Amino acid sequence: MRAICEFKPDLPRVRSGENLTGQIILKTRAAESIKSIYITFIGRADVHFEETLVNRESDEKTPERLVSTATETYLTYRTEIFGKGKLPKGQHTFAFAIPLPSHCPSSISSKFGRVWYELSLVIERKWKVNRIHKTPIDVVQPYDLSSDPKSLVPIEHEAIRKLWRWPFRPGIINLCLKVPSGGYSPGQKMNYTLDVHNKSKRIDVKSYTVTLVQESEYFANGYRRVSPRSVYSETKSEVVKHLTKRTISANYEIPSVAPSSQMKSIIKVSYKLRLTVIFSGWHLKWYIEVPITIGTSPLASSSDGGSKKPRKRSKPALPRPMPKKRSTHSCSSGASYVSLPKRAIKKKDLSDVSDGVSDSELGTVTNIPPEVVPKVCSTSLSLQLISILYAEFF
């Protein structure tokens, strides 16, 4: 039977813990009797690498080749969609919904192993070989960085390099790499700062390169193989002259990669941020590496583009000042006077107005000195003077 099979999943990438849904379209050119048609889905990890060992106890130190393999199955699914009978000619559509466990790791493939998921349509025929149609499925395991305490800790790495140039003394270069947090997601921009103190007298810093390194670890039969791979690099032509200091601020966009591994498995994926510093002259490159976590969901503090500015607190409204009580002073004769604001007397001092002074000669009086008030109170003019002042100011 000649047939054309087309797989149409609803999403190009499915997450662990969710359902893989979609349709399978089968087009046949002729009718044929079959036993059954069923859908299978499998998720598995395979590891295969070689080790060369030398037996040093024997006299003949011949290398021994050791092959290590391991397999780990995460999911096996099968469901029948067509029973025994005759499959008519034409187009047939089969819908599927396959639940994925939350422990399924992300898909990855390399030289020494892979984590793979495969969706198949199997046509079981009578007295003939089964016809199998396959397609790979990309699975990613969710990794929320906000729930990982290590991702919240900022990165601050200090390093010192001594550069020798005969016959001169060695030059020292201090470098400090600062990153706001230890975890990022693909597509997110990572801001970083480089504090460079070049104490060398003749050697300059020409440039540097920032690289995201994917480090895969494979375990089989008690052996371990590590395979690093550079994912993406950015070179900055930033020059730091000798006997100078400089602070460099830049950003690095995280490429689309599989997230870091969360559970123990025969394949473990981790990441490092590698800083390569290039010097002038015939000096070797300087490699600095710091671990970094890659997730699927960014940190809550960086999802909105950075930390929010704190709101300015409005100052509380101050209560209105209470009017000051005007103090009164008593005279020797039993009368009282009001203490008014201190101002200059325009015409005459009140000490000269003890007797026979008219109201016109007093002018405008703005203050009464305390030592003069007793003299005024002793005269008959005191009550009249106080009434004039009270009428003028109040």
Q: Cβ distance 122 to 128 under 8 Å?
A: no
Report the candidate in 188, 184, 186, 204 with the shortest Cα–Cα distance to residue 196.
Answer: 204
Give the per-residue pLDDT at 63. Answer: 78
If 0-12 CB within 10 Å is exposed, 13-18 middle and 19+ buried, where does residue 146 land?
Answer: middle
- The confidence score (pLDDT) of residue 65 equals 84
Sequence-ordered alpha helix ranges (H) in the chain: 149-152, 359-362, 373-377, 381-393
* pLDDT tens-digit map of 181-235: 999 999 999 999 999 999 998 899 999 999 999 999 999 999 999 999 999 999 9
186 vs 256: CA distance, rounded Å: 5
pLDDT for position 59: 59
Classify 386 as helix, strand or coil: helix
Model confidence pTM above 0.85: no
CA separation (Å) from 47 to 109, 217, 361, 376? 10, 10, 118, 114
The reported pLDDT for the residue numbered 71 is: 97
- C-alpha to C-alpha distance for 268 and 351, rounded to whole angstroms: 103
91-125 confidence digits (pLDDT tens): 999 999 999 999 999 999 999 999 999 999 999 98
CATH number of 3-140: 2.60.40.640
Residues with Cβ within 8 Å of residue 168, at least 6 apart in sequence: 201, 202
CATH 2.60.40.640 intervals, the chain = 3-140, 146-294
Distance CA 334, CA 37 (A): 122
Q: What is the pLDDT of residue 1?
A: 60
CA triple 116-119-124, angle to 5 deg:
130
pLDDT of residue 308: 40
Q: Which residue has the tokens 């689309």?
A: 256
Residues of the chain with pLDDT under 70: 1, 56-61, 165, 167, 301-394
Under CATH, which architecture does the 146-294 domain have? Sandwich (2.60)
Helices and strands per DSSP (H, E), number in the chain: 4, 22
Backbone angles phi, psi at 229, to 5 degrees: -145, 130
Give the Cα-Cα-Cα angle 185, 299, 287 (nearest 5 degrees): 55
d(CA 119, CA 12) in angstroms, rounded, equals: 13
